[in-house]
Structure 1
Amino acid sequence: MGTIGQRRIGRTGDGDPPISRQTFRVRSVGFLSERQRRFAWVGFLLAAFQAPLAAKLVDDASWFFAVVVALVVATVIIADDAERRRPETVDYPE
């Protein structure tokens, strides 16, 4: 309890813990699972390395397809990153 006039350290009042203790940061999940994300990175790297190699070895413009596939997969990875970094809404009890 303490002596008369001694200040009490900490929160006094209704006994509810502070709001900061009730919430904790949880990493939000994107729309890709970890396995799908890994495969997307592998696919992106394979397409990105295959395109210049095909451009050097083949006379036609079929290498451009690998560039387009790499750009599509990169867009999906970037969208998943944006979804993971989006802050979650928190309901504070009143």
Structure 2
Amino acid sequence: MNSDSSGRIGRSADGNGRAARKTFGMHQGSGFLSTRQRRLAWLGFLLAAVQAPVSARLVDDSSWLFSLCVALMVATVIIADDAARRRPADAPSGE
């Protein structure tokens, strides 16, 4: 505990009762999808993911696999965009 008379919890190892300076988080990189494109991608993913099992139940052939492949491709794009958004803005894109 800090021996400061105000009762605040703080750093006590260095003997200085001053509050630590504020730090700023990393700047986030921007993805390659805009906000609207990202929302439409999520909508497309959800529609294709719901349509695949419904189609598999109602249709005798294997055409439902196409919906599943489309949903997986859209999910891959969303994941790649999310990874690009989480990368710091000054990080090289090749890593």
Give yes or no for TM over 0.5. yes
Q: Counterpart of 1:26 in 2: which secondary structure?
A: coil
Q: Structure 1 stretches of 5 or more lacking a match?
A: 1-19
**Shift of residue 64, structure 1, vs aligned partner:** 0.3
Sequence identity percentage = 63
Contact 2:27–2:88 (8 Å) recurs in 1: no
TM-aligned CA deviation for residue 87 of structure 1: 1.2
The corresponding residue for 1:64 is 65
* CA shift for structure 1 position 24: 6.3
**C-alpha contact (below 8 Å) 2:26/2:88 kept by paired residues:** no
Which residue pairs with 2:52 in the alignment? 51
Structure 2 gaps, min length 5:
1-21
Q: Is the 8 A contact 2:38 2:78 kept in 1?
A: yes
Aligned to 2:28: 27
State the shift of 1:85 in Å. Answer: 0.5
The Cα RMSD (Å) is 2.0
SS in 2 for 1:59: coil
Q: Structure 1 length normalisation: TM-score?
A: 0.67
| Aligned partner of residue 88 in structure 1, secondary structure | coil
Normalising by the residue count of structure 2, what TM-score does the alignment of the two structures yield?
0.67
Deviation (angstroms), 1:89? 2.0
Q: Secondary structure at the match of 2:72?
A: helix
Across the two proteins, how many residue pairs are aligned to each other? Answer: 70
CA distance in 1, matches of 2:25, 2:54: 48
AA aligned to 2:41 is A
